[in-house]
Amino acid sequence: MDSRLRGNDGPSRQPAELRHKEAPVEERRFGPIRFIPGERNGKYPYCHSVYIEDEGGGILIDPSSDRERLSQLREGPGVKAVCLSHWHEDHIMHLGLFDDVPLWTSEQDAPPLADLETFLDWYAIDDSTGPHRTEFRKFMKDQFDFQPRTPDRFLEGGEILELGFVTVEVIAAPGHTPGNLAFYFREPEVLFLGDYDLTPFGPWYGDVYSSIEKTMASIDRLRQIPARVWITGHEQGVFEEEPGPLWDDYVNVILNREERLLHLLEQPRDKQAIIEAWIVYGKAREPRYFYEFGEWAIMGKHLSRLIRQGRAAHENGKYVRQ
């Protein structure tokens, strides 16, 4: 999705004009784990990658950081497998560099990787948003070089990968996507959080198969893992001290969005009125249809949750607090 929608990861992060200038994120090494920073400090359409050294070539996680650096890794010491934390476009941009390398990811996140139309369906992009499915389709091909891929191996939460230099625990962390994965590298005590990135904007859970409840449960699970270093897919990228209150701040973004929505629904509101309250993005931005799409993706999840809880209702085309 367009960077203006999600800032880092499709419709999700802090708008560019509100961000302060940051020092360049640098490549780091933690034992056999290499942190490979993405262009623009890992802001969308890029992300940070992780390279796991192993005998006979390493394993690369999320190939959408720096194309030149990824090409160098392929040439030497080599890449014998590519792993995806999840299916989003800003984590597969340079996957084409490794079209002859085995691809590993979760089974739950495999369908959109294999078919562009399914990819767009999982974002709920249809002609009801205007003539934008065609634009998104072109965007995926031009910006991200989308090429259908069928994973060669499915990874599951709880699976242990015994590599030559490190033991990797695969962690199921659904919510952001249904098959979202995190990875804990046991010996150096490094945890790769992927897109649970602890940024001020907060989590993204606006896809068709995203879940607020599962997002919150995954964040709670990840914060309990006894890591020494935390790596995220975007922005700061490396935390060498326990993130502490950043975990709470990250979850509170979800709760604050919901409380503001409930306050808004003290008077009945239709879909457009909810969008134009700009609870997620703060104000109207251009191109408007992009932001309206992202705003409703998040607000729609909250409305569904509130209705399930009996805290809101949908009556006569409008939503109201119960």
Q: What is the pLDDT of residues 185-219, one digit of tens each?
A: 999 999 999 999 999 999 999 999 999 999 999 99
Peptide bond into 287 cis (omega under 30): yes
**191: CB partners within 8 A, 6+ apart:** 182, 183, 184, 185, 222, 225, 227, 229, 230, 231
Give the pLDDT mean for 20-27: 74
Nearest to 9 by CA among 126, 171, 177: 177
Residue 112 CA: distances (Å) to CA of 3, 178, 205, 258: 19, 12, 16, 29
For the chain, the distance separating the N- and C-terminal CA atoms, rounded to the nearest angstrom, is 34
Peptide bond into 45 cis (omega under 30): yes
The answer on pLDDT for 233 being more than 50 is: yes
Which pLDDT tens digit goes with each residue over 117-171? 999 999 998 766 556 788 889 989 999 999 999 999 999 999 999 998 999 999 9
DSSP string, 217-285: HHHHHHHTS--SEEEESSTT-EESS--THHHHHHHHHHHHHHHHHHHHTTS-B-HHHHHTT-TTTSS--
pLDDT at residue 17, rounded to an integer: 36
The answer to whether the Cα torsion of 214, 220, 223, 225 is positive or negative is negative
pLDDT at residue 133, rounded to an integer: 86
Beta-carbon-side half-sphere exposure of residue 78 (alpha carbons within 13 Å): 8
- Stronger pLDDT, 9 or 21, i.e. the higher one: 21
In order of their start, the domains of the chain are 3-243 (3.60.15.10), 257-321 (no CATH)
Instruction: Name residue, tokens 């907060």.
Output: 202
Residue 257 CA: distances (Å) to CA of 254, 277, 302, 310, 316: 5, 11, 8, 18, 24
In terms of pTM, does the model score above 0.85? yes
pLDDT at residue 130, rounded to an integer: 56
- What is the identity of the amino acid at 8? N
Which pLDDT tens digit goes with each residue over 60-81? 999 999 999 999 999 999 999 9
The neighbour count for residue 167, using CB atoms within 10 Å, is 12
The answer on pLDDT for 11 being more than 70 is: no
Strands (E), 62-114: 79-83, 103-105
The answer on pLDDT for 16 being more than 60 is: no
Residues 149, 168: Cα–Cα separation, whole Å: 24
Report DSSP state, residue 148.
-
Which pLDDT tens digit goes with each residue over 271-298? 999 999 999 999 998 888 778 989 999 9
